[in-house]
Amino acid sequence: MPFPTLAASIAAALAERGYAEPTAVQAAVLEAETAGRDLLVSAQTGSGKTVAYGLAISRDLLGEAERLPPAGLPLALVVAPTRELALQVQTELNWLYARAGGRVISCVGGMDPMTERRQLAHGAHIVVGTPGRLRDHIERGNLRPQSMRAVVLDEADEMLDLGFREDLEAILESLPPERRTLLFSATVPRPIAQLAKNFQRDALRIAATGEGSQHTDIEYRALSVAPGEMERAVVNTLRFLDPRTAIVFCTTRAAVNRLHGNLVERGFSAVALSGELSQAERTRAMQGLRDGRARVCVATDVAARGLDLPDLALVIHADLPNDPETLLHRSGRTGRAGKKGISALVVPHNRRRIAERLLMGAKVKAEWSPAPSAEDIHAKDGERIVTSAMAMLDEMPEDADLALGRRLLEGRNPEALAAALAKLLRAPLPAPEELAGPMSYAGPRPERDYQRDYQRAPQEARPAYAGGGSGNGPHRAEGAVEGVWFRMNVGRSNQADPKWILPFLCHRGHVTRDAIGQIRILDRETRFEVAPQLADRFAIAAAKPGQDDAHIRIESAASMGPPDRAASSAGPRTPYAGKTRPAYQGKPRAADGANKRPATARPPRS
């Protein structure tokens, strides 16, 4: 018998659900030394801890009996940080205690408090709720805690992060002093340890699943993309991996709404979860995910805390989390109950170092690669179509299907017919996005470092700016490939200088220094070369200005060719005196007068 120390009614409920062996955390809380003791348990999300504390308190509720007494004053209380988690806990405990005659009710924010009051009045064995609503019912006398034998704080660290300390302390102070207190938390930072010290008696510390080690059922991937291509990368990742259910995390409600709208527009069956939704809207969204009508959930961190979705195979971090703990909590939505999952971080080139620090802080290792390209997705689609077709061929087709197949083949090329059917199968799928090609370096440094890099580089490694001694254009190396010419509406009259133009072009066009060739500064514009193999990508990126440089326009000058060297070198300029100009700060003055002269005055001429 896999659970020998449990009441027969609880063991039978586990067997019905297919529990052959306890998970690590379930086995740990059922050890003989835990009987009657307070517990402080750290366990990875998805390790079966809801069932674990349901089993742990069963001995307090049932004793030696097989069934619970008639429902009256609650015998146990479970506190959870969010409505979704509380309702999920209620569902889990309902089936676990069904054979024992248990009645489990919920008290959560967003639901009708009068209905909850009537349910409490009719009696319950276990009450599950959120801190604010439970405290309100206790203070109003609707929830009478004098018969409580056990209290469980689920996701205790998250409740403290969400600011529920005062509510938790008020709830715990109202409970009988002889009750058991079980704290379950993914991590045990100092605030959790202090809470345990204040409200537990000689608590047994259990680190059930190798605290600090990487969750072996979760594969971490870091997808390197160009800045501004996050949404395209999310689309391609969903298409390439094709999970039954996925969740995409954003940091703000506005980002959730924008990404959700874009995914729906591209043909994905997606729902959104954010704090602005009503409880009814959140419930409909969750039900859509559980019954398969929706396959993608776009959510904020707070809205998705404690979320448990069946067959969730993929977590995408569209926006990087703010800290390692959030990374682990997000990723823990997948890889649950022994199933494998993928946690994919979308990392713009200029935020790679931030992502690396997050992964290091979370003590997880990720495989770095470019985001899936359109070519990768077309190839993967082909593999899936072939696999599906082969599986269908293994089955004996119906006579009507065979007859239709013969009709389709009459007078037609079989290969052309197969290609047409493949096209028909691809048609309902969302189209993949074209992404900028992968970059061969780890990611650009922040803007302020470009000037320093230029100054520190060996002379032979720097772009050799020349042009009549003016610093307005480089000599081309002998045998160099002719680049593609572009123009920018900033020239000498706008204080144009290669020292800030070069880093600006790299930042705006998402390219490295060596992709930029000659730079020729004219009176009211600047022309420059871009490596031919990167010209198309540069043109797409440079056409999307940021807030600080919207007044600077970059356009192709390929039809015009390079400017006349005499024009770009007309009149030598005296070298700067004193300090060099600061590195580019994002607001050079445009030729059309769209903004004022930079605050830094032009250096004096000798």
- Name the E strands within 63-131: 76-79, 104-107, 126-129
Contact 158, 81 (CB under 8 A): yes
pLDDT of residue 418: 74
**For residues 577 and 606, is the Cβ–Cβ distance under 8 A?**
yes
Q: What is the pLDDT of residue 67?
A: 92
What are the residues facing 312 on neighbouring strands? Answer: 245
Give a three-class secondary structure readout of 277-318.
Answer: CCHHHHHHHHHHHHCCCCCEEEECCCCCCCCCCCCEEEEEEC
Decide the pairing of beta strands 245-249 and 312-317: parallel
The whole-number pLDDT of residue 551 equals 83
Q: Provide Rg for the chain, Cα atoms.
A: 32
pLDDT at 394: 64
Tokens of 359: 């992964």
pLDDT in tens, 289-311: 888 889 999 998 876 666 777 67
Q: Which residues contact 123 (CB under 8 A, 6 or more apart)?
A: 70, 71, 72, 73, 103
Residue 131: the pLDDT is: 93
What CA–CA distances, in Å, run from 163 to 51, 131, 158?
26, 10, 9
Residues in Cβ contact with 93 at an 8 Å cutoff, skipping those fewer than 6 apart? 50, 54, 78, 102, 104, 126, 128
Domain 8-207 falls under CATH 1.10.10.10: no
Low-confidence ranges of the chain (pLDDT < 50): 1, 210-212, 438-480, 569-606
pLDDT of residue 576: 31
Whether 78 and 154 have beta carbons less than 8 Å apart is answered as yes
| Residue 71, phi-psi category: left (phi > 0), alpha (psi -120 to 50), beta (remainder) | beta
| Domain extent listing, the chain | 8-207, 214-443, 448-568
Number of Cβ atoms within 10 Å of the Cβ of 369 = 12
Distance CA 186, CA 457 (A): 47
Distances (CA, A) of 173 to 135, 138, 159, 573: 11, 11, 17, 78
pLDDT tens per residue, range 182-205: 998 877 778 888 888 888 988 899
Tell me how far apart the alpha carbons of residues 133 and 120 are, in angstroms, rounded to a whole number. 13
DSSP code at position 351: G
Using the CB atoms, write b or e for 500-531: b if 16+ within 10 Å: bbbbbbbbbbbbebebbbbbbbbeebbbbbbb
Domain 8-207 shares a fold with domain 214-443: yes
Distances (CA, A) of 606 to 312, 497, 573, 574, 577: 69, 18, 10, 7, 7
- 366-370/76-79 β-pairing: unpaired
What per-residue confidence (pLDDT) applies to 393?
Answer: 65
User: pLDDT (tens digit, 9 = 90+) per residue, 372-423?
Assistant: 988 898 888 888 777 776 666 666 566 666 677 777 777 777 777 677 777 6
Closest CA to 109 of 75, 135, 72, 138: 135
Q: How far apart are the first and last CA of the chain?
A: 93
CATH of 448-568, one of 1.10.150, 3.30.1370, 3.30.450, 3.30.70: 3.30.70
Q: What is the pLDDT of residue 495?
A: 79
Residue carrying structure tokens 């995914």? 263
Say what the pLDDT of residue 428 is: 67
Q: Is the pTM of this model over 0.85?
A: no
Query: From the CB of residue 453, how many other CB atoms can be counted at a distance below 10 Å?
Result: 14
- Any residues with CB less than 8 A from the CB of 363 and at least 6 apart, and which? 212, 213, 214, 324
Using DSSP, state whether 417 is helix, strand or coil: helix
The CATH number for 214-443, chosen from 3.40.50.170, 3.40.50.300, 1.10.10.1400, 2.40.37.10, is 3.40.50.300
Residues 6+ apart with CB under 8 A from 601: none
CA distance 602 to 605: 9
What does the pLDDT look like over 426-447, one tens digit per residue? 666 777 887 765 443 333 333 3
DSSP state of 124: B
d(CA 459, CA 454): 9
Report the C-alpha gap between 28 and 42 in whole angstroms: 11
